[in-house]
Amino acid sequence: MRGRLDLANMMQRAAESHGDRVFVRFERPLQYRMFEGDAITFRQGVRVVDTLANALHDKLGIRKGDRVALVLTNVPEFAFFCAAAAKLGAVTVPFNYMLKADELSFAIGDCQAKVLVTERELFEANIRDRSRLPHIEHWIQTGPREKVLPGLISIDDLTEGCADRREAADIGPDDTAGIFYTSGTTGKPKGAMLSARSLIVPIRRAVRLLRIGPRDVCVAVLPMAHIFGFVTQLMGGVISGATGYLMRFFDPVKTLRRMEEQRATLFIGVPAMYNFMLACGMKDYDLSSMRLWISGSDAMPVEQIKEIESISGRFIEGYGMVETASLISVNLPFIRRAGSIGIPIPGIRVRIIDEEGRKLRRGQVGEIAVKGPSVMQGYWNNDEANRRIFVNGWMRTGDIGRRDWLGYIYFMDREKDVIKCGGYSIFSREVEEKILEHPQVHECALVGAPHPEKKEVPVAFVQLKAGEKATEEELLLWCREHIAAYKAPRRVFIVDDLPLNMTMKVLKRELRERLVREGLMESESPES
């Protein structure tokens, strides 16, 4: 008997099933003593992972439950260190590679990580001085030994003399396997503790529902440090046996070229990525091999879904968040409802609740609450936040939505992004989708601007398509003609770029702060 699948033995089980099939191809070849090349098989991957696990254990003293921090871009070493930590029963703590030392300091100290793995350019640009993160005992740098900075350990030095075989640690399904920190938009970042069960069960079921397997090829561009990329690309690839082509950063033209060259069948992205690819002439590439386009992290305009499906494949929207290991619901190819974020993955329960936590009837709008194996164990070292988010065994998501009579879920808005204007609730997604229908608009974001009488009024920030020259007055007039007066934006600001996070989601907090900081609404009259 093979026994229960867990994070510690997952890579070994994949090697037993898929052996010498390619696990992942890289943009740049690796050059280490333990492995060289621009592609690695499942069997080779196990030897690399076991070598690193032995090095972490024998040379750095990493044991079950210890935290291993990763500050890396989409490089193969990210996957190897995650799997090596899991082999030991250690806890992986990935961080956004764009964070500076001051931003990392709180979370690193909070989780008490012993080891940090990073790249030279990230260290030099964002951290610079090891003393700024005093809790880290051991610093590891990827890349060639001769380019490793003083005080950091090269992977070649770390793994020298280490065996390439190791027995998997005995870990239980409820042992904490990863800590993923939230962005901290409303205070200090919170570390969502995800168990081995949380990380494995939902993605395993999603892989089966979508029939993803060894014949699939995925061009992987989502940051693996983000829960969406971590679960769907990294863990989904290991569980399904699909082959990945790993891109360090997202570039719409390069991504389309790789999909064409690799005869990709699967792509996992966020709406902004799809928007950029459409703007770069997606229809001009041979994407006939594409089977599934999967989207999450934000709402996708229905018109863009139709445009992509007219090119090839089926578009699948899903829904999740950091606190649920990225997966709550998914649309299935054969019973999809456009505009919906799907039905709950088997084992996940969803209900719509009011402000007091009472269940609402089908069709009523309220907060989405969830229960099931994907739900986090809680926030690390934050009892106050745990008391707020868990109510009677249900986790409140902070997202507003509804369910139809068939059980499909419809995302309306983030609770914090709903604009309260003179007694009306304005859902930003609805207005943004309408503005995106304007032929000159590339991207937009609707936020609430403070108002002395109405509390808030809707304001749009708009990024135009390349070469377009629309004015703010023209866009404002268009909005008034196509959007109900109470929810049409009172002002439209044209910007060169919108602030985006690691997964290219618009940072509306920064836009709201800009309104206040720059006094952009000072000319707005109270009667507006």
How do the domains of the chain map onto residue ranges?
10-171, 199-361+404-415, 418-517
Instruction: Give the contacts of 84 (CB within 8 A, at least 6 positions apart).
Output: 49, 50, 52, 53, 55, 56
Classified as helix, coil or strand, 240 is: helix
β-sheet bridge partners, residue 411: 401
Residue 516 burial class via C-beta count within 10 angstroms: exposed 0-12, middle 13-18, buried 19 and up: exposed
Instruction: Output the pLDDT for position 255.
Output: 97
- CATH fold group of domain 10-171: Rossmann fold (3.40.50)
In this predicted structure, the answer to whether residue 361 has a pLDDT above a threshold of 90 is yes
Q: Are strands 67-71 and 91-94 parallel, antiparallel or unpaired?
A: parallel
169 secondary structure, DSSP code: P
Rounded to an integer, the average pLDDT of 383-389 is: 92
Q: Which of 517, 36, 10 is nearest to 240 (CA)?
A: 10
Q: Which range, of 106-110, 261-265, 370-374, averages the lowest pLDDT? A: 106-110
Question: Which class for 165: exposed (0-12), middle (13-18), buried (19 or more C-beta within 10 A)?
Answer: exposed
Average pLDDT rounded to a whole number, residues 136-142: 96
pLDDT band at 187 (very low <50, low <70, confident <90, very high): low
Q: Is the pLDDT of residue 526 over 50?
A: no
- Where would I find the H helices in 112-250? 120-122, 155-159, 196-209, 227-229, 236-240
Cα–Cα nearest to 365, from 406, 318, 415:
415
pTM higher than 0.85:
yes
Query: What is the C-alpha separation between 121 and 106, in angstroms, rounded?
Result: 22
User: What's residue 2's pLDDT?
Assistant: 58
Tell me: domain 199-361+404-415, CATH 3.40.50.12780, correct? yes
The fold of the 418-517 domain, in CATH, is GMP Synthetase; Chain A, domain 3 (3.30.300)
CB 395 within 8 A of CB 370: yes
Asked whether this chain's domains 10-171 and 418-517 adopt the same fold, the reply is: no
Of residues 521 and 329, more confidently modeled: 329
Does residue 430 have a pLDDT over 50? yes
Radius of gyration (C-alpha) of the chain in whole angstroms = 23
Please work out, in degrees rounded to the nearest 5, the angle formed at the alpha carbon of residue 305 by the alpha carbons of 398 and 289: 120
For the chain, give the percent of residues with pLDDT over 90. 65
Q: For 21-38, what is the mean pLDDT?
A: 93
Q: Is the dihedral of CA 394, 398, 402, 407 positive or negative?
A: negative
Read off the pLDDT band of 1 (50, 70, 90): very low
Q: What is the mean pLDDT of the chain?
A: 90
The least confident of 212-216, 285-289, 433-437, 498-502 is 498-502
